[in-house]
Structure 1
Amino acid sequence: MFSRVDPAKEKVQFLEQAKALREERAGKIQREHAVITIQALCRGFLDRTRLKRQIRAEIDKVLHMPEGDGEEYKPTLIPATELFAVISRFLVVMNEKQDAKRFQYLCRFILASMDCENIKTCYASLAMTKTHVLAWIRQLKDVLWLCCSSLKTLRPENHADLKSITVHLRMLVTFTSTTNWTTLRLKAGEQFLVGLTQVCNNVMGHLNTRGLYPVLETLLTKGLVWSKPVFSKATLTDILTIAIRPLLGANFSENLLNVFLLHILSVPAIVQHMCNIAPETIRNKADEVFDRQKHILLRDHGRPYFQK
């Protein structure tokens, strides 16, 4: 009347049911985890996109970029502390291709602040305060290296790119020496001259470590190796000034002289172009460079080659 239940078979069925329930719970957990992961990625992407849009809108509001390229740029300067904060946020989200125009106008904005006699709006005034100096130096190094990175990709034969090259070179010329800092001509800035000169030397050392001379070599090659060089006197003077300043700061150390010989004097016809386009550069600084380079070559390769 009653069928006999096989204990072994009943045990197998129980284990199979338990296994199926475990797999079902594990699958449910995996699906929930997948949903949470997808939601987190989507929300993160949307938040980052929103943040980038907000930061770009913020810097656009500060820069007031003109719509036409031919319009004169006269920015409304803001306090240096606010500018520092805006730049800090912008550097976090900056894309070199997408934000190339913004970065160019940011450099022009900084240069305009350096020409202002109001110390509160001068970008370099932050180097005169203990609370900002270290962060300002880090930010300046980042901005100047972005200028160098841009110089590697821009094409001098293109008129729009040549304008950008001029701006980036002016940034490098301005912040590798205190010679043209308007704030240091004021009484409030005179006491900081020695310290800021050392800051400029530190910045030059940083740029040299990251590859300043290869950048200048690439730029010189692209601008001079033509039937007619595309660089003007001012542009070539800026490039050579930037190239010579690390030598002056290091008192013509042999290592830097070798780097200068390898990357600058090895550019085809560089000396001829210097004589034709920017002869003042040779008269002012290059004579000593050439004399020291000749001394190194005489020592390394033998005197007979250079004897008349």
Structure 2
Amino acid sequence: MNEMVKIEGLQKKFGKFQALSDVTFSVYPGEVVGFIGPNGSGKSTTIRILLGIIKKNGGDAQIFGKDVWKDSLEIHKRISYVPGDVALWGNLSGGEIIDLFIKLHGSGSKEKRDRLIERFELDPRKKAKGYSKGNRQKVGLIASLSVNSDLYIFDEPTSGLDPLMESIFQEEVERLKSEGKSIILSSHILSEVERLADRVVIIRQGEIVESGTLDELRHLSRSTITIQTENDVSKLKDVKGVFDFHLKDNHAVFSAEPEHLNHILSEVSKLGVTTFESAPPTLEDLFMRHYKG
């Protein structure tokens, strides 16, 4: 399967500061890739290189098999992009700006536009200078989703949106995915990435430090065990691989290291189990543990 996006050893310097030192990952057709990392890790720099806004210092970056810098005009005909803070023309209405964006792209749909305006509950007659941040984001999202693109790049797209609008955005991304579109989603809302992403790419200090499906990355963290036993459950506190042990009512809650799980279960079985629940780590657990050390 040919990559829609292919990045190999990408490097970028700003003066003496090395913003990107080794960024390598790919995006395939019909795939949502969650691109996550702390502030200053290089996410937005990578995206700006992909968009042809800034030039790389080393490595390679291609979209649709074309060089992102030399062939940016051709590439832009087939992509949609929404930044984390959409800047608009203050004296134009939201509807006028959406129509302008659609016209510039050249492949918009009036039916899609009208459906999305209704779904996102946007007043298109209002001047953009009177919009809140959330409404400015809606304009960008509606414009990007109204056109027919092969690749969608979202950089903190739901910044400023309320939870209901976040949910609608997620539904629209799932619709794009079902149509075979490719998506790069950079977001600090890890539950959003967890729901939507087929693969997760974690960047730190300009390098890709982890990538894979969520199941493949679960080795980075611990499962949460909730247990009730007939005998003294506090005996589990000192079992190897048990962390963050807490007694809650007549239950024990603790974290379990994956490599010690068999030993923990062996010890648990000696206590006469009456209730046992195991929850896999969330993306937030993986992310926080990874960055804490």
Please, what TM-score do these two structures have when normalized by structure 1? 0.28
Q: Which has the larger radius of gyration?
A: 1
Larger helix share, 1 or 2: 1
Larger strand share, 1 or 2: 2
**Which structure has more RCO (C-alpha within 8 Å, separation ≥ 6)?**
2
Please, what TM-score do these two structures have when normalized by structure 2? 0.29
